[in-house]
Structure 1
């Protein structure tokens, strides 16, 4: 137990020197918010959080997940034989008020970024889409063929459609657990900030890509290519997103006008690649392999189901890679040695 307390004390000593991490991370987040405020003034539409979907409710879910992960972390780190007292002592030793505050600031920075991203994404539909250009790029890369149709021919349009639909829809669940884990299930606060900073940059870079090439997706630009797929929740969601866009364009100042459709780049790919980077950063070999498999399936699913053009996929990979180049450097953290991992 004495050794356990000694290790925890050493960790806390490191954390006491990490307050500047929050300053550096929040500088990036607030700059992003400032850009969004300028865009809000330009389009004359205020920030919105419809039904608390992108900020209020998600903060509540994150708190619940983070508390559960803290308890799990305490159980796993407690010396054996474990008892309630030893688990409580481990949690109290690791989660000092300072460490809790720094973790809360990191998670709040993520949520403010995500909320800002969604508002900028909504206002992006006011820009003219360039789907025809992306369709031409795809045809050129595949010698006149549609990559989605080629996938349908190879994989079929029945069982594969349902499998890839489930695969694609697993993404939100993966994300909602991954970023709290990045802040909780690490040894040092600085490692948490490196991960959260990478997530923050992924959403910011994704937003810039939306504005660089506004687009809606091949399901709208070339609907005939997806007519052979069975009716699934995917088509219902796509119809819903287009209805949201039409409503916002018709009634931009309505309090419930909010759009969620953009194609270039694929942030399903970009954020999944960022989560893969998180596993790599912490030298979680088996998790990294699993995430490579999940990323591969996501790249196939996003084109197969018509959400994204093929060119959106490498753009998403580039976002994930750049997020991991920028994130640790933003907060001034180097990748920890293998012996530091838990």
Structure 2
């Protein structure tokens, strides 16, 4: 009995030691959230009053919604990976073995703790800034982006070019579905790369590029180039509105087939004008597009099939962001460039991090657990 107690104490001590080492070895995940919060403070401190997102509420949201949804999505994606890529004799048994290992061999959880702790502070920064963007810098770039869109597309509004191909009820509905799938793709990426056996270079590169893209694009550039997007062109009092025809089609299609993104667009505007709590409106750059490109770049290193799937999905998001009136085409192009830069910069950083002695010792410790 004493031997069992001693063994149990020894294992618990190793786990506790690895948790501490996990945070020490993955300190870099906290750098961008800290910079994001700092730049937020510099911008928000000029406002007479601004909302804050308490850390405990952000954590509660992560635990009560994002964590369970993300785990389900991760398991479904893992099952698909078994079926399409690894092809074991029984994909269900292989998935069951994964679940058992997650519970009985806590290395995946130990490895995930720092990145998800960092994401709590990162999400806090995003939640606090986005509703305040028009207060920091009122929407003033919509006309310029509309004109740039026309200049880049031979004098024609991009939605007009897409309409003969995408302007059918069921095509629009499918694009609506794909656009909402973005949240599933996001959770898939978070939990797929978060719950890994090692603090590997690809995992580090994905999270650093994701955070960097959102800090630069969804934070700094969103404030500098404050714009609302085509859907709100008329609401901003801008005239003439070149998107009347697009929304005439979308609202007409909604009478035949449900397009719930229209309700979301109205809800965001109601928040902006103060009817309900503001969630935030920001068009430039398109972070849906930036994130979709990062998914494609990251999952291409997992398998070619997943890479091609997410590449096709990124194209769908680019087309959908214009067809559904969320973004100017130039918003999407900017998002793609931000994703490419962030992926490159994170690649440089992740290669350096992977070579650190502390990272190697930590991975060796995980492997021995």
> How does the TM-score come out when normalised to structure 2?
0.73
Quickly say closer, same or farther: Cα 1:228–1:72, change in 2 above 3 A. closer
Instruction: Check conservation: 2:75, 2:95, Cα contact below 8 A.
Output: no
CA deviation after TM superposition for structure 1 residue 286, in Å: 0.6
Instruction: Check conservation: 1:148, 1:304, Cα contact below 8 A.
Output: yes
Q: Where do residues 144-293 of structure 1 align in structure 2 (5 Å cutoff)?
A: 144-184=155-195, 186-191=196-201, 192-206=203-217, 207-221=219-233, 222=241, 223-226=243-246, 227-229=248-250, 230-231=253-254, 232-247=259-274, 257-280=277-300, 282-293=301-312
Q: Give me the whole-angstrom Cα distance separating, in 1, the residues matched to 2:98 and 2:327.
A: 46
Q: Deviations over 1:289-337 (max 9, x none)?
A: 10111111111100011100010111111122122123343453469xx
Out of 278, 303, 320, the residue aligned to residue 322 of structure 2 is: 303
Q: Residue 189 of structure 1 aligns to a residue in which SS?
A: coil
For the aligned residues, what is the CA RMSD?
3.5
Q: Give me the whole-angstrom Cα distance separating, in 2, the residues matched to 1:66 and 1:141.
A: 39
Q: Give me the whole-angstrom Cα distance separating, in 1, the residues matched to 2:25 and 2:280.
A: 32
Q: Give me the whole-angstrom Cα distance separating, in 2, the residues matched to 1:265 and 1:295.
A: 15
CA deviation after TM superposition for structure 1 residue 219, in Å: 1.4
Structure 1 residue 47 and structure 2 residue 52: aligned?
yes
Name the residue aligned to 1:253.
none
Structure 1 residue 64 and structure 2 residue 85: aligned?
no
Structure 1 residue 128 and structure 2 residue 144: aligned?
no
Which ranges in structure 2 are unaligned for 5 or more consecutive residues?
1-14, 234-240, 356-369
Instruction: Check conservation: 1:147, 1:303, Cα contact below 8 A.
Output: yes
Instruction: Check conservation: 2:288, 2:317, Cα contact below 8 A.
Output: yes
Name the residue aligned to 1:320.
339
Quickly say closer, same or farther: Cα 1:89–1:301, change in 2 above 3 A. closer
Q: Residue 311 of structure 1 aligns to a residue in which SS?
A: helix
Quickly say closer, same or farther: Cα 1:59–1:103, change in 2 above 3 A. same
Structure 1 residue 113 and structure 2 residue 125: aligned?
no
Instruction: Check conservation: 1:103, 1:189, Cα contact below 8 A.
Output: no
CA deviation after TM superposition for structure 1 residue 38, in Å: 2.6
Q: Residue 329 of structure 2 aligns to a residue in which SS?
A: coil
> How does the TM-score come out when normalised to structure 1?
0.78
Instruction: Check conservation: 1:215, 1:264, Cα contact below 8 A.
Output: yes
Instruction: Check conservation: 1:190, 1:333, Cα contact below 8 A.
Output: no
Quickly say closer, same or farther: Cα 1:16–1:286, change in 2 above 3 A. farther
Quickly say closer, same or farther: Cα 1:83–1:210, change in 2 above 3 A. closer
Q: Give me the whole-angstrom Cα distance separating, in 1, the residues matched to 2:78 and 2:346.
A: 24
CA deviation after TM superposition for structure 1 residue 242, in Å: 1.1
Quickly say closer, same or farther: Cα 1:160–1:289, change in 2 above 3 A. same
Q: Give me the whole-angstrom Cα distance separating, in 1, the residues matched to 2:204 and 2:210.
A: 10
